[in-house]
Structure 1
Amino acid sequence: MAEQNRRSIKSRAAIAGHPLHPVMIHFPIACLMLVVASDGAFLYTEDLFWARVSLWLAGIGALGGWVASIAGLIDLITVRRIRQMILGWCHAILAVMMLSLASLNWLWRFKDPVDLLPWAVGLTLMTAGLIALAGILGGMLVYDEAVGVEIDDK
């Protein structure tokens, strides 16, 4: 079987064998996806609180995503088997596109937190879509290609 012949690919950006990139992405993803909800709440209520929440979520999500990307980049560059995977490069490129849009979204809001239509909301929705695509590819790297996973030899 192909499953039994597959070897795991160890992460170089790891602590005690635990890959850092998959651990670090959850909080930025949550923040960036919550911008969709807080934008919706602001557009529905017109309460400035929700505009400020979106500003902070966008900023923390973008910054946290760039920090998490460092661990992913270390693995992409230093682990030959990951570097040779088109799937790894596609995940990285989508993540950079997503983080660029998220950073632009934060900068747009920093200028004027209530000026959401159409650009900030559009950036939020594009960011959410790219998060979904990058997440699918990241999941494929872990579950299909065993990147950062130890396979039990039974």
Structure 2
Amino acid sequence: MAQEMVQGREEAREFDDPIDDAPGFEETESRVAIWGHPLHAMTVAFPVALTFCAFGADALYWWSGQERWAWAGLWASGTAFLFGLGAGATGTMELLMVPGIRIRAAAWTHFAIAVMLLSLLGLNWGWRLTGYEAAVLPWGLLMSGFAVLVVSATGWHGGKLVFDYRLGTSKGS
């Protein structure tokens, strides 16, 4: 019986995740913060909301044909990209500076999806700069719609990292 317990423990050790034992694995608190408030968490709301606004403006332009919605789509896509660069910079600093975030594959997956989103937002804005009204149908609308799907995926994934794994949060003072 005692030998079976020892053998059972040895088998259990074979399946231990070596990443759980890595130095700094438990260190997940944000280092890019102002007075304990993580900057990445504070800045991601803007590009997410503006991505949805760009899609909404494109849909309203398609429905109404009014130039003001194409203009609104140009501004929403541009500011989504610019604010996304800021959110991406803070997120990248967090990823590279905090060992407990850097070691997790899920954090790198979130990073890769977010980089794809930034590329798409930049393409969408650049496309509109050539002629904002002519750029909406069909490509602007399609890019905005795809950006909504990608921002939903990366936002869900980022929320999972924060709420399930407590990555990039502040433990308070």
Q: Same fold (TM over 0.5)?
A: yes
Q: Which consecutive unaligned segments of at least 5 residues does structure 2 have?
A: 1-24
Paired residues in the alignment total 147
Question: Which aligned runs of 4 or more in structure 1 are off by greater than 4 angstroms?
Answer: none
1:135 and 2:155 are equivalent in the alignment: yes
**1:96 shift after superposition:** 0.6
Letter in 1 for 2:145: L
Q: Offset at 1:151?
A: 5.9
Using the alignment, how far apart are the partners of 1:144 and 1:20 within structure 2?
19
State the 1:9 CA deviation: 1.6
1:95 to 114, 117, 120: 114
Spell out, residue by residue over 1:40-86, the C-alpha distance to the aligned partner (whole angstroms, 9 max, x if none).
Answer: 11011110000000000000010000111111000101111111111
Larger Rg: 2
Give the alignment partner of residue 45 of structure 2, picking from 23, 26, 36: 26
Opposite residue 47 of structure 1, the aligned amino acid is: Q
C-alpha separation in 2, matches of 1:118 and 1:51? 12
Distance 2:88 2:171 in 1: 25
TM-score, structure 2 as length reference: 0.80
CA deviation map 1:69-110 (0-9, x unaligned)? 111000101111111111100111101101100110001011
Within 1, Cα distance between the matches of 2:170 and 2:69? 43
What is the alpha-carbon distance in structure 1 between the residues aligned to residue 127 and residue 39 of structure 2?
30
SS of aligned partner of 2:165 = coil
* Residue aligned with 1:10, SS: coil
Partner residue, 1:3: none
The separation in 1 between residues aligned to 2:170 and 2:100, in whole angstroms, is: 15
Which sections of structure 1, spanning at least 5 residues, go unmatched?
Answer: 1-5
Contact 2:28–2:167 (8 Å) recurs in 1: yes
Work out whether residues 12 and 75 of structure 1, in 8 Å CA contact, stay in contact via their aligned partners in 2: yes
Q: Percent identity?
A: 33
Instruction: Give the root-mean-square deviation of aligned CA atoms.
Output: 1.6
Question: Is 1:145 equivalent to 2:165 in the alignment?
Answer: yes
Q: 1:114 Cα shift?
A: 1.6
- C-alpha contact (below 8 Å) 2:30/2:170 kept by paired residues: no
